[in-house]
Every structure is written in structure tokens, then in C-alpha cells.
Amino acid sequence: MTKPALSFPIYLDYSATTPVDPRVAQKMIPYLTEHYGNPASRSHALGWKAEEAVEEARENVAALVRCDARELVWTSGATESINLALKGAAEFYKSKGKHLVTVKTEHKATLDTMRELERRGFEVTYLDVGADGLLDLNQLEGALRKDTILASVMFVNNEIGVIQDIAAIGEMCRQKGILFHVDSAQATGKCDIDLQSLKVDLMSFSAHKTYGPKGVGALFVRRKPRVRLEAQMHGGGHERGFRSGTLATHQIAGMGEAFRLAKLEMAAECHRIRALRDNLLAGIRQMEEVFVNGDLVRRVPHNLNVSFNFVEGESLIMAVKDIAVSSGSACTSASLEPSYVLRALGRSDELAHSSIRFTLGRFTTQEEIDYTADHLRAKVAKLRDLSPLWEMHKDGIDLSTVQWAAH
């Protein structure tokens, strides 16, 4: 049997976005051309057909995360869900207190929304994480105050894939009467999410990280105990007044189908992807001076974030142009700022600069992983031959003792 031909670039950036599963695309198409009614139209069959699709999708999303379908609000994506959850809850409950708590390694959607709330007069505590990327619950407890109204913690980190202890954080917040929002954009289809048992009040979802289309997401808003929000988008009063705007039937149908498939296939898929990820790691570990960023056990199987010491990240990304991956460093910025997530783990500038995030997914194959590991070994070796730091390391010089002429 001949090996299937590889097509380039090899996509290992599934945490940036996933392709739409062809089965999901098929589900969406009729709602563009055939069943094009407005789901809010109550006066004719086209409207009813569209509404039926929206409610079927809502049931499918609810089934994956074990909540009541009536607890879900459609949005344009996780960023909007997070904005609605944080601003909506903060504004509604501000008479109870004006203190909010989050974590330094959260996604910018959360951090930037928190910054906006600071401008509006709220006070925000940004918690550190350990070297493993995980939040220390004692530290969290110490940060919660009498006037704290809301905590926000992501389920799965987008850069390093570590899984926070959402169950324990939820217990702590519920006990103290603090609302708890969880950003689950990177968790659906990768982690078991049970909103029946988790003490989570608000949870944000995205479709396009789980083989659905871009431009659609959802926010879970708990009914018991009831959570109230101030709407951020005003208009026709859609979604029980939480989020006005005509529902995008085809997008919503796609998200529903994507989440239905995730529920069916998640267990087998995670098992298969874990084996591929472990093979990739074994291939990379044949090299010296490579470091995995973040805890390797409490992590989704899809993610591998590795620093290649003495190799600069942007040149490595350039060297592995056959592979679509992302660098920890923001390489388009003039300041060459390394990843704030890796800095929060206490990684040195050099290691933070030399990181690559590999994220695997539904369509990743063993052949692609083999190619990637071989290719990386060759390119890292070439760049190390070019690296004065590698030469100094090999000569036994401790780089932390060198006085650099900073520029």
C-alpha cells in the first residue's frame, strides 16, 4: 500500500480555527437558499422552518454541555459571549460590589473586556498562574472579597492547552455568592462539560474551534439560580432580550450540527489525537534543549506548546513554512514582545521567544505528524548551527552570566 500524498502546508493550528466539517457544511446550505425565512417570522411556514432549525441546534448545543436549551443565547462568537457575560453581569450587579477577578493567562477577549470595565469604574484583580500554567485555588480564595461580584476563568488555555479546575473554582465562588463565568471556546469537543454538576453561572462558546462556522457562538446563562444580565445589543428583543438581532439560521444550524457531532465522536477523537500528539512529542524530544510549556497531564490532547532553546521563534516559523503553526511571540510587532502567557509561567525571554504551538485536530494524520517531526529536527539543527547562543551553550558558557549589550 502506498502512503497517501501529503498536502502542504500541514495544518497544525486547530486552536486558531478548525475547518468546517463537510457534514456541518451540508447541514448549513439549505438554510441559505431554500429555507431562508427569518426565524422570528411567526406568520408563515418559512419562518417556522427556520425557527425549527434554530431550536434543534439549541438542543444539540445544550446536549453537549448538559444544560437546558432555554439557558443558551446565540451570539456572533465567543468574544461577543464574553463581552455580554462580563459587561452584562458587572453592570447588572454593580450595586452589590465593583470588584472582579480573572487570570493573567486569559484570552484577550476577557482581558480587554476587563480593562474596559476598569475604565467604567470597576476594580479587577489579575491572578498569576504557576509554572505549570494552572491557577492556585488558595491564591484565588485570597483574592475573593466581600465586594467581589464576578470571577472569570477559562476552561482550556488557547496557547498552552492546560485545563483549569473549573469544578473546584465553581464550588468556591458559589459558596461565597460570587458569579462565575467560564470561557469554554477551546474546551468543547475536547473536555467533558457537565453544566448539571458544575457550579458555573455563565459559559461562553464558539462554533469555529469545534468544526463549525466562524461568526457564531453562544452564551450559557443559568436559570437556577437565576443569573441576570444587562443586554449589550438592543433592538427587536430577540433571545429573550439578551441579544437583539436577526438570528443567522445557517450559522446556528452549523454550530448545532458541529456540537452534535462533537458529542458523538469526542471520546474516540480525543483518544486518536492523544496518540498523535504523543508521537509528535516523542519525535521532538529526540532533540536536546526542548521544553514543553504548561502542564502535560492536565492539558487537552490536542495541544503541544514547545520551546526550542537557542533558536529564535520567528526564524523557526519561517523555516517550517510547510507547517501551519503559530508562534508564542507576536512576530509582526516591532517590539517583538514574547507571549504574555509564557511570561506568566515565568519562562525566560529566550524560551518565550522560541516557542511554537502545535494544535492537532480531526483531520490530522500520522503521516503529517511524522513529516512534521522530521522536518522540525532538520530545521532546528540548521538554525542551531547558525546560532551563536547554541555555540556558547556547547562551549559550556552559562548564558545567564553573560553581559549583553542590549539595544
Q: Which of positions 22-51 make contact with another protein (CB under 8 A)?
A: none
**Identity of the residue, 137 or 389, whose beta carbon is nearer to another protein in the bound complex:** 389
User: Applying CB under 8 A, what is the total number of residues that bind another protein?
Assistant: 28
Q: Any contact of residue 105 with another protein (CB under 8 A)?
A: no
DSSP-based three-state secondary structure for 14: coil
Q: Any contact of residue 401 with another protein (CB under 8 A)?
A: no
**Identity of the residue, 40 or 331, whose beta carbon is nearer to another protein in the bound complex:** 331
Kindly state the smallest distance separating residue 334's Cβ from another protein, in Å: 4
Kindly state the smallest distance separating residue 273's Cβ from another protein, in Å: 30
Among 168, 267, 318, 397, binds another protein (CB under 8 A): 318
For cell 441546534, the residue is 57
**Identity of the residue, 40 or 317, whose beta carbon is nearer to another protein in the bound complex:** 317
Among 33, 138, 332, 401, binds another protein (CB under 8 A): 332
The Cβ of residue 244 has, within 10 Å, a number of other Cβ atoms equal to 14
Distance in angstroms (rounded) separating the CA atoms of residues 213 and 217: 9
Among the residue ranges 76-84, 134-142, 296-304, 347-355, the one whose residues contact another protein (CB under 8 A): 347-355
**Alpha carbon distances (Å) from 352 to 198, 288, 301, 349:** 34, 17, 22, 5
Distance in angstroms (rounded) separating the CA atoms of residues 39 and 72: 16
For cell 485570597, the residue is 142
Q: Any contact of residue 210 with another protein (CB under 8 A)?
A: no
**Alpha carbon distances (Å) from 270 to 207, 285, 352, 361:** 18, 22, 28, 9
Distance in angstroms (rounded) separating the CA atoms of residues 166 and 154: 8
Kindly state the smallest distance separating residue 109's Cβ from another protein, in Å: 24
Q: Any contact of residue 281 with another protein (CB under 8 A)?
A: no
Of 73, 9, 362, nearest to 202 by C-alpha is 73
Q: Any contact of residue 398 with another protein (CB under 8 A)?
A: no
Q: Which of positions 288-317 make contact with another protein (CB under 8 A)?
A: 310-312, 314-315
Kindly state the smallest distance separating residue 401's Cβ from another protein, in Å: 12
Of 279, 347, 264, 346, nearest to 23 by C-alpha is 264
Q: Is 331 annotated as catalytic?
A: yes
Among the residue ranges 71-79, 171-179, 242-250, 328-336, the one whose residues contact another protein (CB under 8 A): 328-336
Kindly state the smallest distance separating residue 336's Cβ from another protein, in Å: 4
Among 33, 138, 333, 401, binds another protein (CB under 8 A): 333
**Identity of the residue, 108 or 394, whose beta carbon is nearer to another protein in the bound complex:** 394
Kindly state the smallest distance separating residue 190's Cβ from another protein, in Å: 31
Q: Output b/e per residue, 296-328; b: 16+ Cβ within 10 A.
A: beebbbbbbbbbbbbbbbebbbebbeebebbbb
Among 210, 251, 329, 364, binds another protein (CB under 8 A): 329
Kindly state the smallest distance separating residue 393's Cβ from another protein, in Å: 11
**Identity of the residue, 295 or 350, whose beta carbon is nearer to another protein in the bound complex:** 350
Among 222, 347, 353, 357, binds another protein (CB under 8 A): 353
Edge-to-edge strand ranges of the sheet holding 326-327: 290-292, 303-308, 355-359, 326-327
374: exposed, middle or buried (Cβ count in 10 Å: 0-12, 13-18, 19+): exposed
Q: What is the phi-psi region of residue 100: left when phi exceeds 0, alpha when psi lies from -120 to 50, beta otherwise?
A: beta
**Identity of the residue, 138 or 332, whose beta carbon is nearer to another protein in the bound complex:** 332
Which grid coordinates are listed for 161?
492547552
Q: Any contact of residue 404 with another protein (CB under 8 A)?
A: yes
As beta bridge partners, residue 127 has 103
The Cβ of residue 383 has, within 10 Å, a number of other Cβ atoms equal to 19
Alpha-carbon torsion 105, 106, 112, 117, what sign? negative
End-to-end CA gap in the chain: 56
Which grid coordinates are listed for 43?
406568520
Q: Any contact of residue 334 with another protein (CB under 8 A)?
A: yes
The Cβ of residue 236 has, within 10 Å, a number of other Cβ atoms equal to 10
Beta strands in 129-279 (DSSP E): 148-154, 179-183, 202-206, 217-221
Kindly state the smallest distance separating residue 308's Cβ from another protein, in Å: 11
Among the residue ranges 171-179, 182-190, 298-306, 398-406, the one whose residues contact another protein (CB under 8 A): 398-406
Q: Which of positions 370-389 make contact with another protein (CB under 8 A)?
A: 385-389
Residues that bind another protein (CB under 8 A): 310-312, 314-315, 318, 329, 331-334, 336, 338, 349-350, 353, 385-391, 399, 404-407
Active site (catalytic) residues: 331
